[in-house]
Structure 1
Amino acid sequence: MPHPEKIAFLGLGHMGALMARRLLAVGHPLTVWNRTAAKAGPLVAEGAVSAATAAEAVRDADLLITMLSGPDALDAVAAEVVPALRPGTRWVEMSTVGPDAVHRLAARLGDGVTLVDAPVMGSTDRAAEGTLGILAGGDVSGVAHVLRHLGAVTRSGPTGSGAALKLVANTAVLGGVGVAAEALRLAGALGLDEAAARAALAAGPLGGAVARAFADDVHFGTALAAKDVALATKAARLPVLEAVLAHFQEAVTAAPALADADVSQAAGHIIRTL
């Protein structure tokens, strides 16, 4: 029976830590790195090895997984780790960074490393359960057996297509949250009972968006949501999404603690303060 691959997992935020834990639980030798080193502590207690630098983490890895905060973080990590990668390493990029960042990364790697862009749909609850939706661009044949421990893989096309599809999906969700929040703000301005208005919206086409706008058991930081929408509005003219982006940015400016709070908290801010 072949030995499990050595995996380097870089990025231990709300999602990354849960995903890394699942890989550790199924027996993969796991080396972890995070810019804030203390976040590696719980995983080390469960058997992971903590690396002092990103380059150290990847030096002996067969498979590298990144789950980072955005394009700038990916570019910075790539500058450090690319020289340390062994030929034949597979890199699964699971952050939400947009296709341009994925193509920049692919150009850095050359022919010796296989790159799959595989951002995820779902929040912390699904990451903990291993039921994420994984949108995979590129050749996933060499990594599918690992990704299955994290969720169900949907093959989206060539390299960069997973990152592109994730932007489409995220902007639809976040746009819906913004519209639901505005609709409830309108309900308040018209003197309607909020619970009644919310129930009416939940029973209609916006039901999913209303549920996400008031979710209290998941986490998708508002600053990260704003980053995702900003990536989309740079790719195409999207006036509705530009307004949603302004909502999220205004919420974080007015209440900085919302930056790391779930988007449901930002939705509440929109309802109360517009």
Structure 2
Amino acid sequence: MKVLIILTVFITGLIITVNCATYKNVIFMHGIFAGPSEDIELIAWIQKAHPGTNVTAINMFDNYKSLTPIWDQVHKIMPDVQKVMNSSPQGTILICFSQGGLVCRGLLSVLNHNVENFIALSSPLMGQYGDTRYLKYFFPNYVKSEIYKYFYSTGGQKWSVANYWNDPHHQQLYLKYSNFLAILNNQTFNPKSQEYKQNFLKLKNLVMIGGPDDEVITPWQSSHMDFYNANETVVNMRQQPWYINDWFGLKTLDNRKAIHIFTEPGVQHIHWYRTKAVFDKYILPFLT
């Protein structure tokens, strides 16, 4: 099974028809070193709040396979996501956790989609630069200040994490070697830049959720599309060149009042999708 589809069964076909017509299909993309089982509680909450909702959990690139280059993930997942979208003419909702948020950004750039709301849950949307436990486990011989020597190489880019590694001290190398994030942001030449931008602008709402106690996304404000400058000072999204120059549509979405940024303290990384308060306050309102 390439996708895991969970559909609440009701007593009569009439109720199923009514609910499926009322609630949009939801697609969940898991994070790094994980799989569709991440969203068991999330699915239960969705279906309790909106009975009959069709929730599709992407059952690909789980666990160690999540280290596959992100463009490979995007293109492999794309046909299955398109099928779900085609079955939901009233619109689709994406909930994407951690690295999954970048996979979803890729999908939203290459697909002529009908996604209305993209909910990015603690995702390194503008990249990662930190000595996290994941980095130490898989690359024990490197620290954040040195791993650019490997990540910013042809071989290094074969790892998903390297595709969005954004070293603020080595931006020229980032622009030269980053074969995902820099392209997605239209920071480097991309013959499909306008196509990517127009597809991204099909969104009705971009919802970005993160918090200061995450302990994995670094800086945690990357979940809000903020990022470090060369002094490792976090600069707000609206002061960054990708926003000011509207490279991929962020400013246009903001002018449309389509961007919603939420901060929730006290939530560690692996608890975002299993914290009911986060669901109630920031996800549930965007499921219709």
TM-score, length of structure 2 as denominator length:
0.30
Relative to total residues, which structure has the larger helix share, 1 or 2?
A: 1
TM-score, length of structure 1 as denominator length:
0.32
Whose radius of gyration is greater, 1 or 2? 1
